[in-house]
Structure 1
Amino acid sequence: MTRAAVVGCGDISVVHLAAIEAMDDVELVGVCDADRARAAEVGQRLRVPALDDHRRLLEELRPDVVHVCTPHDQHAPVALDCLDAGVAVLLEKPVAHTVPEALRVVEAAAAHPDVKIGVCLQNRYNTPVQALRQLVDSGDLGTVHGASASVLWHRTPAYYAARPWRGRRERSGGGVLINQAIHTLDLVQWLVGDVVRVRGRAGTYELADVIDVEDTATLVLDHAGGARSVFVATVTNAVDAPVTIDLATEHATVQLRQDLVVRWADGRVDTVGEGSVVTAGRAYWGASHGRLVEDFYARLQEPEPFWIGPREALASLSIIDAVYAEGLDRPGTVPTPD
């Protein structure tokens, strides 16, 4: 029986706890949160010990795997302590809230090659995404000219008030790009190819009196091999619209929403559906957290690193960091004619 623990009992922990419960050969041995009351509530509900210090959890409960579901600025410190203790780590995205912190995790993972570490970029496990990656790898699409992608979502001031760290750069690392859009950015670079040049702007246009991170961003990405992608993300949309990725290729146009639709130049149309989505969390989180968690545990005894590790997760974070380096735009006013 593999012993699991969860550090961080906020919203996303619900999905990890459900995934652990679903596996017959995994036992939840404890939870941890800096908020003692929150940890106690979860521990009481699940009938496991609850602690407020992850180092005590490592010493006293001796888990085999720790799921890190903390605010972003705690990802690296908890992961480093777990690796040093020889405990496998499954990190929520992002790998860290800054690139320097992420590099510390990359270096620590390299220094502990026998300790498994993974990062939850779970949308790679979506059935349509897997099908599209296989199609790209097959060469049937011909040359991939580029992609366009959008994350047009809606977040209110109350969303940030409920978890203030989300809107503070020193704790979250950023706004819509690092919190909501990072999954889609990861897919674009994974499907189209490594990004070698980034141009873009990020700004706080609607929520400037609430947060000090961006609520909107636009990017142009140049990929190795010559493809170019454009990317738009915001949390100021009127509703949570479906995430979109469109690929322009030599032999087909590709649309990825919840389903994958491939329209071939010869008139054929292929569709790959996700099917019904059942999740313990919010619907827009999708159903693939459980798939990634199960796969991570299935590979624990394999000698190779987990395929979505810190170095792999660094790619999308580095794209985001390049945009942040340009600084944030702030709202202005349109001059009124006299």
Structure 2
Amino acid sequence: MSKLRVAVIGCGAISKHRHIPEYAANPHVELVAFCDPVQERAKHYAGQYGAKAYTDYETLLREVKPDAVSVCTPNALHAPVSIAAAKAGAHVLVEKPMAATEEEALAMIEAAKENGVYLMVGHNQRLMPHHMKAKQILNAGALGKVLTFRTSFGHPGPESWSVDGRDSWFFRKDEAIMGAMGDLGVHKSDLIRWLLDDEVADVAGFIGTLDKAGTDVDDNAACVLRMKSGIIGTLVASWTYYQGGDNGTVLWCENGIMKIDTHPDDQIIVELRNGSIERHKVGAIATNEKQTASGVIDAFVESIVTKTPPSISGEEGMRSLKVILAAFESQATGQVVRL
């Protein structure tokens, strides 16, 4: 079969480290176009892969007519670019948070449906080997029912990661819409929903800008969540973990505890009340310093090739986004927000 013709829109850090190399490594894919407002960036990758370079995504979609696109733009553009791509007949993989509002997310889902294309959201935490193993252990049942949890994602902030450093769009509210919560918190709302196979019912959020000077996007958030099943827990997102990042999740269950990514060598530790301890080494987690394949690009390509709707669908992305939006509403109103 002929290769999938893929365009990457937005050539910043996430494209550089994940999307572009992972597409290049996939035998089903031909990279045909790159788009970025900074022309040199698009030209750099176009030269590398024998593709076309654009500064305007609408021109790219019209002239190249790609089979699929990755939307790796600032958050404010996720919805308009995704909708334009779907209308141009391209399958869409959009970075998280998928949109700025629930209305935008719904419009993206609708555009994909109307044009018979897939919409997938880049929530890579579900596909990380230790999270897949954790879900398997939970489902096996030895731990019994999950009672409480904490899930956290923190690092020193996007200035060390973004191609533009401290001048990154991540710090400009009109482009970023939200800070640490959109960057990291939404990963964790997605992970906990998927891991527990449960939806968030109530959210209380404390969100602020504590240390990043000159920006009005949030750099820290601590949220209390109650799930539909009654499980309660905390979700934390931070851009000020200047020493020792955290991407850990702990589940306290009827029969013991599961610690995920809290130990440098053993990605999962299960301690049962009967005294038994299991340690699992299931591959290191991807970090900004040390990239590992995300699995997202391969899953997206496989969806298209096998004509199977993606499991991390637009609807799933929207449910995870709504948790974060509810936390902002809670911060603004001082109330617990019911989803």
Which of 267, 272, 289 does residue 264 from structure 1 map onto?
A: 272
Q: Give the letter aligned to residue 77 of structure 1.
A: P
Q: Deviations over 1:152-201 (max 9, x none)?
A: 32138676854442112221121111112321222122223210000111
How has the CA–CA distance of structure 1 residues 39 and 328 changed in structure 2, closer, same or farther, with 3 Å as cutoff?
Answer: farther
SS in 1 for 2:79: helix
How far, CA to CA, are the matches of 2:146 and 2:292 in structure 1? 28
How has the CA–CA distance of structure 1 residues 292 and 156 changed in structure 2, closer, same or farther, with 3 Å as cutoff?
Answer: closer
How far, CA to CA, are the matches of 2:96 and 2:159 in structure 1? 22
TM-score scaled by length of structure 2: 0.88
Matched with 1:155 is: 157
Matched with 1:42 is: 45
- Contact persistence 1:126–1:287 (CA under 8 A): no
Matched with 1:236 is: 240
- By how many angstroms is 1:328 displaced? 6.4
Matched, 1:318 2:314: no
Matched with 1:221 is: 225
How has the CA–CA distance of structure 1 residues 45 and 163 changed in structure 2, closer, same or farther, with 3 Å as cutoff?
Answer: farther
- Contact persistence 1:55–1:81 (CA under 8 A): yes
- By how many angstroms is 1:18 displaced? 0.3
The count of corresponding residues between Structure 1 and Structure 2 is: 323
What is the 5 A alignment of 1:162-241? Answer: 162-192=166-196, 193-207=198-212, 209-241=213-245
Q: Give the letter aligned to residue 252 of structure 1.
A: G
- By how many angstroms is 1:24 displaced? 1.8
Q: Deviations over 1:88-144 (max 9, x none)?
A: 1111111112322122112223333x3122111011111110011122233332111
Matched with 1:115 is: 117
SS in 1 for 2:11: coil
How far, CA to CA, are the matches of 1:276 and 1:180 in structure 2? 18
Matched with 1:334 is: none
What is the 5 A alignment of 1:25-36? Answer: 25-36=28-39
How far, CA to CA, are the matches of 2:192 and 2:152 in structure 1? 11
Matched with 1:254 is: 258
How far, CA to CA, are the matches of 2:173 and 2:314 in structure 1? 21
Percentage identity across paired residues of the two chains: 29
- Contact persistence 1:176–1:215 (CA under 8 A): yes
How far, CA to CA, are the matches of 2:42 and 2:29 in structure 1? 20
How far, CA to CA, are the matches of 1:152 and 1:80 in structure 2? 31
- By how many angstroms is 1:44 displaced? 2.4
- By how many angstroms is 1:303 displaced? 4.5
Matched with 2:142 is: 140
Q: Give the letter aligned to residue 310 of structure 1.
A: G
- Which piece of structure 1 moves more, 211-220 or 302-311? 302-311
How far, CA to CA, are the matches of 2:177 and 2:150 in structure 1? 25
- Contact persistence 1:125–1:288 (CA under 8 A): no
- Which piece of structure 1 moves more, 9-18 or 129-138? 129-138
Matched with 2:289 is: 283
SS in 2 for 1:283: coil
Q: Deviations over 1:8-38 (max 9, x none)?
A: 0111111111001111221111111122232
Structure 2 residue ranges without an equivalent (≥5): 334-339
- By how many angstroms is 1:287 displaced? 2.4
SS in 2 for 1:306: coil
SS in 2 for 1:124: helix
How far, CA to CA, are the matches of 1:137 and 1:156 in structure 2? 35
How far, CA to CA, are the matches of 1:303 and 1:210 in structure 2? 46
How far, CA to CA, are the matches of 2:142 and 2:289 in structure 1? 32
Q: Give the letter aligned to residue 72 of structure 1.
A: N
Q: Give the letter aligned to residue 41 of structure 1.
A: H
CA RMSD, aligned part only? 2.3
TM-score scaled by length of structure 1: 0.88
Which of 78, 85, 90 does residue 82 from structure 1 map onto?
A: 85
